[in-house]
Chain A
């Protein structure tokens, strides 16, 4: 690579392996889900093999990218491409959550009041007299069909009032996640000053906080199912609650996993330089994104 010329990449077998892994993954997932009632079905093994192939491919793919980078093969232009690529990927994730938030806003402000007969459209619906007893409220604790098809919840996850605020898990989750965003920023500052110890410590704290968050979230789900009777099939409130927090929790796990990898790379392999650490930066962007989504969840799912 002489100066000023372009870097032309070589062939790679990782992409096709990844495509095959995804194929196994979705075939396995589809047939597993279609055969949930059939205990003799073996389709889940296709799903597992898909996951295994996916992780293996990603491991070797990322390893090669890292090695190329360490060998100095990346031009500044390519580094910039990774930066843009990550930014747009996060934008696509934002839009994925937007779909679920949109669904939440729509049912809260329009669909549920209409079902209870509000507005000109609602009057038309109740004129059918399908569910005359249904009353509009959020959280929807009694479904329009009065729980004929659904498990009704006894309690919701909404704000319990100041007297019980400290016992309210979502508040602790918020504190944990906001602090983790702060610690990952401190780690970044440490790295930028060339202070590896500070970087490792704060990144370690961040990963720990991520684990705590996931633990608290699991506890909250347990509470919801065991004590509140709130389930995925508790009508629209359960649907929006578990899908929004569930996808967020899944993204926390992915982000935490990325940060843990970055920590391992720094501790065990001494990766990342003062002015050259986009791998970490990308993971930290992702982490801040996950944090912002949580803030939206906290406001629109829990508080309001």
Chain B
């Protein structure tokens, strides 16, 4: 038996293995983080290409480019790919790279499971994308897959969709368990809970949310599967079930899910604003408590997505007030970020530009969320482009800007090279202008009554739709610049110092740039 172990024992301090097997068999948190980040970038470009198709079709009223059926498949896949393939894996990739370095751990707690949670994803998205080529086409019921659209009226590929969601969920749960265990168990001596960097805190809370709600999503798609193929009636009123039950279960998952996509962003932005303000972060512990409050509240607000299904009045009032309550901890966070910048020695390198844009634009998205939370107003806004504008404001200049900020901020540590500051700033301004030109007009056409998820629209919406499409093309194509900048930085460039940024604090800035393959072989001293 010891022979099994033998060859396993004596190769500790070596660097990465050579060739493709490095990536297939790796148990290294940095390799796996890199895999996650590149995977999410690929999905971001695929989902982005779908967004381009959508905006091209909406450039003018009338049907131009695609069939309505294909348009529905595009909006469905765009949402699913961006959420499950773009934003979530990007944050898991960042967690993989950063959490062990920030807490002084040698690696993730369960490195082999870490590899598994990544490698499930390419297969899951292969299945999802292959449904485009199946008989009846890809899923066409929107990313929220409401019953009965996704049960009674779904194309046959819905079965493949269900199982791909199942394994995506398994991947997320394993990834989240790994993060929780790493943070609970692998902190270097001296890294107490209230000394943890905020990104670590944000991920601890996010991972808890993931473990709590991904199984609920698995339950929802399982009920769908049974309703479609095995004659149950969970979502069928003729058998005593209720299609609205689907929405309850889905949004019980879905609302914590949207915080899963924003809490790590809060952590990232806190680090970046602190560094480039050259000050201590204002209100560290209130930041932690705010994130915890947001996470807990996220479990009791789900029905604000369903105000128009005919909820009892008491439920509408409860969910309205609970939702508005979330503005309080979120306000605390925005206040703290602004207070950190107040009288700081600010400089505006690319990560800081993205972080400041995050604070402003995410707040706009938050305010439109507050408007949507008001039940009588929501009767007007529900399922219009106002909703589309709202959640794109919190996801694109929210989640995605924070991911880009994180890439610019930490890529010197990852690659050892500085990115091209001039190109980075160009990328920022193109993205910033693009995103606002795309989504700000959607507020107007939404309030004017344009419904979402239609390939055609009334003539009165034509002007702002054209503006929106132009903005979308600008934003979309400027991401190719981002790809170029990242590749250029990885290939070479000005060498980065260990500290990289003048004001940067934290364990990850004490190690070499690029960070050694195994960061800490003994626990670092932290006081």
List chain A positions with a Cβ less than 8 A from chain B. Answer: 1, 4-16, 18-20, 22-23, 26-27, 29-31, 33-34, 36, 61, 64, 67-68, 70-71, 73, 77-78, 80-82, 84-85, 88-89, 91-93, 95-96, 98-100, 102-103, 106-107, 110-112, 114-115, 119-121, 124, 130-131, 140, 143-145, 148-150, 231-233, 235-240, 242-243
Contact = CB atoms under 8 A, between A and B. Distances in A.
A71 B2 CA distance: 7
B226 A239 contact: yes
Contacts of A243: 222-223, 226, 232
Given A84-B180, A100-B219, A12 B112 contact: yes
Nearest to B309: A121
Given A8-B521, A30-B163, A148 B238 contact: yes
Contacts of A144: 237-240
A232 B232 contact: yes
Nearest to A231: B231
Nearest to B6: A71
Interface stretch (B164-172, B379-387, B426-434, B493-501): B164-172
A29 B216 CA distance: 21
Contacts of B492: none
A99 B216 contact: yes
Contacts of A115: 237, 240, 242
A91 B27 CA distance: 25
Contacts of B422: none
A70 B8 CA distance: 14
Contact of B249 (A99, A124, A145, A231): A99
Nearest to A18: B116
Contacts of B213: 95
B340 interface: no
A87 B445 CA distance: 49
Contacts of B4: 64, 67
B119 A15 contact: yes
Interface residues of B, number: 89
Interface in B498-521: 518, 520-521
A70 B215 CA distance: 33
Contacts of A237: 240
Interface in B1-15: 1-2, 4-5, 8-9, 11-12
Given A84-B180, A106-B248, A149 B2 contact: no
A296 to B, nearest CB: 15
A148 B238 CA distance: 9
Given A11-B26, A20-B123, A89-B177, A232 B231 contact: yes
B162 interface: yes
Nearest to A77: B185
Contacts of A30: 127, 159-160, 162-163
Contacts of B448: none
What 5 pairs between A and B have smallest CB-CB spacing? Answer: A99-B219, A233-B231, A236-B240, A6-B106, A239-B232
B239 A236 contact: yes
Contact of A238 (B106, B185, B232): B232
Contacts of A19: 116, 119-120, 123
Nearest to A96: B215
A235 B226 CA distance: 12
A71 B5 contact: yes
B231 A27 contact: no
Contacts of A78: 109
24 contacts: A4-B523, A6-B522, A9-B107, A10-B8, A11-B22, A11-B26, A12-B112, A15-B112, A23-B123, A33-B225, A67-B5, A68-B8, A80-B185, A81-B110, A81-B181, A85-B178, A91-B211, A92-B177, A99-B219, A99-B223, A130-B237, A149-B239, A150-B238, A236-B233
Contacts of B237: 111, 115, 130, 144
A188 B355 CA distance: 53
Contacts of B472: none
Nearest to B117: A15
A149 B245 contact: no
B525 to A, nearest CB: 12
Interface string B94-110: 00000000000111011
Given A88-B177, A119-B312, A106 B245 contact: yes
A4 B106 CA distance: 12
Interface in B111-141: 111-113, 115-116, 119-120, 123, 126-127
B25 interface: yes
Nearest to B12: A8
Contact of B25 (A11, A61, A143): A11
B17 interface: yes
Given A12-B112, A99-B219, A144-B240, 13 more contacts: A6-B523, A13-B21, A15-B119, A16-B25, A22-B167, A26-B163, A27-B163, A30-B127, A67-B4, A88-B177, A96-B215, A121-B312, A236-B240
A150 to B, nearest CB: 5
Given A16-B25, A30-B160, A120-B312, A111 B245 contact: yes
A102 B177 contact: no
A85 B21 CA distance: 27
A120 B234 CA distance: 22
Interface in B346-386: none
Contacts of A106: 242, 245, 248
B220 A111 contact: no
Contacts of B218: 96, 99
B180 A88 contact: yes
A69 to B, nearest CB: 10
Contacts of A18: 116
Contacts of B8: 10, 68, 73
Nearest to B162: A30
Nearest to A146: B238
Contact of A91 (B21, B212, B220): B212
B193 interface: no
Contacts of B126: 23
B132 to A, nearest CB: 15
Q: Which of B184, B214, B232 has the most CB of A within 10 A?
A: B232
Given A5-B521, A92-B215, A29 B163 contact: yes
A254 to B, nearest CB: 15
B156 interface: yes
Given A22-B170, A143-B233, A243-B232, A11 B239 contact: no
Given A11-B21, A33-B225, A235-B233, A85 B166 contact: no
A34 B522 contact: no
Contacts of B116: 14-16, 18-19
A26 B166 contact: yes
Contacts of A22: 120, 123, 167, 170
Contacts of B25: 11-13, 15-16
A51 to B, nearest CB: 14
A18 B242 CA distance: 37
A73 B5 contact: yes
A295 B93 CA distance: 40
